[in-house]
Amino acid sequence: MKKSMQWAATIAAVAFAVPAMAQFKNADESIKYRQSVFTVMGQHFSQIGAMANGRAPFDAQKVKADAALVLSLSQLPWVAFGAGTDLGNTKAKPEIWQEQAKFKAAGDKAMSELARLDAAAKTGNIDQIKAAFGAAGQSCKACHDVYRGK
């Protein structure tokens, strides 16, 4: 039993590490990858927001699933901000590459807030979800305000 749990943990760790090891053919492929991840994250985050703000009926199981997915996806796009990906079809501002430590800190804060949203979603308590959603939204917005163009 313990052996199978260790194997499962190892497989899960490798599965989460694969995107970080992903090699993109060129900058355009990197840009498309990160944009795709952010698009899917945004769709699921917006669905939580619609429920948190009363624009859609509250479904605790849907919030739980969406929050877990957003949290998982939030680990993926950062590898695709490599050298040369500041050019091309992107809204990414040059500040990302000029202020890499600050950009990483903003991304880490967003992922931390998304982890809190995931924890709140697991409670099924709408008030906790609303509070965590607001904080997560603010962290995402703060990063967008500085590092994403129109």
Rounded mean pLDDT, 97-106: 95
Please indicate, yes or no, if residue 13 is contained in any of the structural domains: no
Name the token pair of 142.
């703060």
Q: What pLDDT, on a 0 to 100 scale, did the predictor assign at position 150? A: 84
Q: What pLDDT, on a 0 to 100 scale, did the predictor assign at position 134? A: 97
Please indicate, yes or no, if residue 6 is contained in any of the structural domains: no
Please indicate, yes or no, if residue 8 is contained in any of the structural domains: no
Q: What pLDDT, on a 0 to 100 scale, did the predictor assign at position 44? A: 98
Burial 68-77 (b: 16+ CB within 10 A, else e): bbbbebbbbb
Q: Rounded mean pLDDT of the chain?
A: 88
Q: How many domains, in total, are found in the chain?
A: 1
Residue range of the domain that includes 30: 26-147
Name the token pair of 5.
């749990």
| Band of pLDDT at residue 8, cut at 50, 70 and 90 | very low
| Band of pLDDT at residue 22, cut at 50, 70 and 90 | low
Burial of 1 (0-12, 13-18, 19+ CB in 10 A): exposed
Please indicate, yes or no, if residue 118 is contained in any of the structural domains: yes
CATH number at residue 120: 1.20.120.10
Please indicate, yes or no, if residue 43 is contained in any of the structural domains: yes
Q: What pLDDT, on a 0 to 100 scale, did the predictor assign at position 33? A: 95
Counting every residue written for the chain, the total comes to 150
pLDDT, tens digit, 9 for 90 and up, residues 24-81: 889 999 999 999 999 999 999 999 999 999 999 999 999 999 999 999 999 999 999 9
Please indicate, yes or no, if residue 3 is contained in any of the structural domains: no
pTM equals 0.82
Please indicate, yes or no, if residue 114 is contained in any of the structural domains: yes
Rounded mean pLDDT, 83-101: 93
Please indicate, yes or no, if residue 15 is contained in any of the structural domains: no
